[in-house]
Chains A and B, each alone.
Chain A
Amino acid sequence: MSLSEQVRDGIAREMAKYPKKRGALLPALHLAQAELGHISVETAKELAEVFEIRPIDVMEVVSFYNMFYDRPQGRHHVYVCTNLPCSLRGARTLMRGIEARLGIEAGETTADGRITLGHEECLGACAYAPMLRVGGTYHEDLDLEKAMQILDGLE
């Protein structure tokens, strides 16, 4: 799948905002990922052409930020906070439980493409630990059963 005209126009508009066009690489990656779901090696190649840099320069940035994905993702991003306060409240056991129930490990996607599971660093909800987020929605004060109810309700 290649970059649409819309995305290309968007990138051109972003580029105009920066003294060097390479400065627009981050907004460009957001635009590309919003459309394509992840930044594949092929997408990196297309972006590299647009920015007149090398594909490796694009993938370096993709790999640096954890909000960019270099492989196809599930329809829902489920991130379990495993930072210290959540861990003290059982987040790691929760994570292992979710992994066992979904049959995948953190960083992987279920075979049906429904859920991509991941670790998350602190999301500022320590008072309601342990917690996870589904996309932009927080779910707090969890145990495994509550969490699985939420996950089972995802399309």
Chain B
Amino acid sequence: MPNVSIDGVEYEVAEGRTILQAIDDLGLLMNGVDIPHYCWHPKLSIDGSCRLCQVEVEGFPKLQIACNTPVKDGMVVRTQTESVQRAREGVMELLLVNHPLDCPICDQAGECKLQDYAFEYGLSHARTEEPRRALKKRYDIGPTILLDQERCILCRRCVRFCREVPETSELAVFARGDRSTIDVHPGVELDNDYSMNVADICPVGALTTKDFRFKVRVWFLDDVPGVCTGCSNGCNIHLGVASNKVYRYVPRRNDEVNETWICDEGRLSYKAIGAPDRLDASELRHADGRVETVRRDQAITLAAAKLRSLIATQGAGALAGIASAHATNEDLFTFRRLLDALGIESRACPVPTGRSDALLIKAEKAANAAGARALGFGDPAPVLDRLRGGGLEGAIVLGHDLLGPLGPDVSRLGSLDTVILIDTHHSELERVADVVFPARHAAEKLGTLTNHAGRVQRVQPALEPPFEAYAEGEILTRLGEALALPGFEADWDPRAVSKRMAQEVRAFAGCDVDSVGDSGKPMPGGSA
């Protein structure tokens, strides 16, 4: 493996990489070794068009672009010399010749590389007096994205992305030289399952998403690391949160999971968090169908009483535990403990399914289906058979994914003696439930989710729900306490539960909420 000296420090780097790639491999890019760059992206082919990443390489008469110069054993690279600095200033000046400098009304301001580098390397005034190019602004190029051709610096990241990642090629550079513009083909919109990634990789304000545009200035946002819950891929994300509201998901790099991408559907799934149909209070359904909103503890007392009397008369065999593949491992571990303590053996987890592709989109449309299986909540068919065929008198149900496989038999559920529902959103299931508890979304609680490949990943509270809502595990713990079951006395502490789960469940050994870190960790046994 070649040894390369970068700014006086020796590194061993992989064969066949370019200088910039090698620095990125070492985790040093913009994190110790600052080489500004626009066109280079770790997950796209090399373009070499922006010329900003020039560095000094000993033995070369001129500066070389770091993104496209292969490393060689004994290479000496300097990234912070005066000539490098001057080259950066020159490139910045040229890139800004036609830029409108409309930062005050540009939604990219605050996370704009042109702004950042202009601040660092740019001149304080323009030396050109010629009129700037007048091109299309607010140009609607598809259902998700607006293009501002004037702001574009022609780095071609978006063009390469569409060619190389979704392989849909909607974007191209038309004309050449100082007349070049990014555009779509007449009659073909930028419309693919990953289209909004172009706004993330656009280093300037040329490509913005219609969804996030002008919603909030980015400097008001806290970026909370989390996981997308749209499907079982578990793409790593940052939740952009301001004033206790999630404004967007953006992908967070994890080469093991989603590289630097996220699908559009997952990206927009943040809307479920603040949706108007969130369950926001505990409810009791009376025999006459009247629904009463109550305090949580009153609902707990009543649910416990109903469970106690049902078990006393019919036995625990008449009950089933239906898990949700949206709940965390910690919630489901608590559910398992409760069912164990009550002697309820009939368990299942319905998983909604949908479309999948070869890239990121998985068929299982829930974030923790693998975790539910690892904790013993499997195929719902046997439980559904029992429900349809009789022999079931009660159920504790998390989430409403049962509605799919249940179909018109949902009324059967209504005829059961006791149905306790813990859910995040309103659904038809509420009408057949005796007691309903509002649950927290994965963005509102600490815990872990297991993705399709058996990778345990952490979610943490990015916001406080503006109404009464609890982690499923918390409600189940309080229920256990009200039933006087041993081991359910303590306050809900997902961290402690996670550690206990990692100790007690072999599938989760070493995978508690702290040890998985921000980028997750594979379960020791692999996928369940």
Contacts and interface: CB of A to CB of B under 8 A. Distances in A.
Interface in A19-66: 41, 54-57, 59-60, 63-64
A137 B188 CA distance: 40
B112 to A, nearest CB: 27
A148 B222 CA distance: 67
Contacts of A54: 169, 185
Nearest to B175: A63
B176 interface: yes
B173 A60 contact: yes
B59 interface: no
B185 A64 contact: no
Contacts of A64: 174-176
B516 to A, nearest CB: 42
B187 A56 contact: no
* Interface range, B side: 10 to 19
Nearest to A41: B186
Nearest to B168: A54
A41 B174 contact: no
B169 A59 contact: no
Contact of A60 (B174, B186, B187, B188): B174
Interface in B227-279: none
Interface string B321-333: 0000000000000
A41 B187 contact: yes
B148 to A, nearest CB: 20
Contact of A59 (B170, B172, B176): B172
Nearest to A58: B185
Given A41-B186, A41-B187, A56 B170 contact: yes
Q: What is the interface of chain A mostly: helix, strand, loop, or mixed?
A: helix
B75 interface: no
Residue of B170, B174, B185, B187 ringed by the most chain A CB atoms within 10 A: B185
Contact of A56 (B175, B176, B188): B188
Interface string A83-96: 00000000000000
Contacts of B170: 56
A59 B187 CA distance: 13
A54 B171 CA distance: 11
B149 to A, nearest CB: 14
A56 B184 contact: yes
Interface in B268-305: none
B188 to A, nearest CB: 7
Interface string B148-184: 0000000000000000000001111111100000001
Nearest to B174: A63
Contacts of B185: 41, 54-56, 59
Contacts of A63: 174-176
Contacts of A59: 172, 174, 185
A55 B172 CA distance: 11
B176 A57 contact: no
B187 A57 contact: no
Contacts of A55: 185, 188
A92 to B, nearest CB: 16
Contacts of A41: 185-187
Nearest to A55: B185
Nearest to B185: A56
Interface in B167-215: 169-176, 184-188
A69 to B, nearest CB: 13
A54 B162 CA distance: 12
Contacts of B188: 55-56
B111 to A, nearest CB: 29
Residue of B175, B184, B187 ringed by the most chain A CB atoms within 10 A: B175
Nearest to A54: B169
Contacts of A57: 169, 172
Contacts of B171: 56
Nearest to A60: B172
A39 to B, nearest CB: 12
A64 B187 CA distance: 20
A87 to B, nearest CB: 16
A55 B186 CA distance: 9
A60 B169 CA distance: 11
A57 B174 CA distance: 10
B434 to A, nearest CB: 58
Contacts of B174: 59-60, 63-64
Nearest to B173: A60
Contacts of B186: 41
A64 B179 CA distance: 10
Contacts of A60: 172-174
A154 B183 CA distance: 37
A120 B185 CA distance: 27
Nearest to B159: A60
Nearest to B162: A56
A65 to B, nearest CB: 8
A54 B192 CA distance: 15
A72 to B, nearest CB: 15
A99 to B, nearest CB: 19
Contacts of A56: 169-172, 184-185, 188
B202 to A, nearest CB: 19
A147 to B, nearest CB: 26
A64 B185 CA distance: 14
B432 to A, nearest CB: 52
A57 B173 CA distance: 9
Identify the 10 closest CB pairs spanning chains A and B, nearest first: A56-B185, A63-B174, A60-B172, A56-B172, A64-B176, A63-B175, A54-B169, A41-B186, A55-B185, A56-B169
6 contacts: A41-B187, A56-B169, A57-B169, A60-B174, A63-B175, A64-B176
Given A56-B172, A63-B174, 19 more contacts: A41-B186, A41-B187, A54-B169, A55-B185, A55-B188, A56-B169, A56-B170, A56-B184, A56-B185, A57-B169, A59-B172, A59-B174, A59-B185, A60-B173, A63-B175, A63-B176, A64-B174, A64-B175, A64-B176
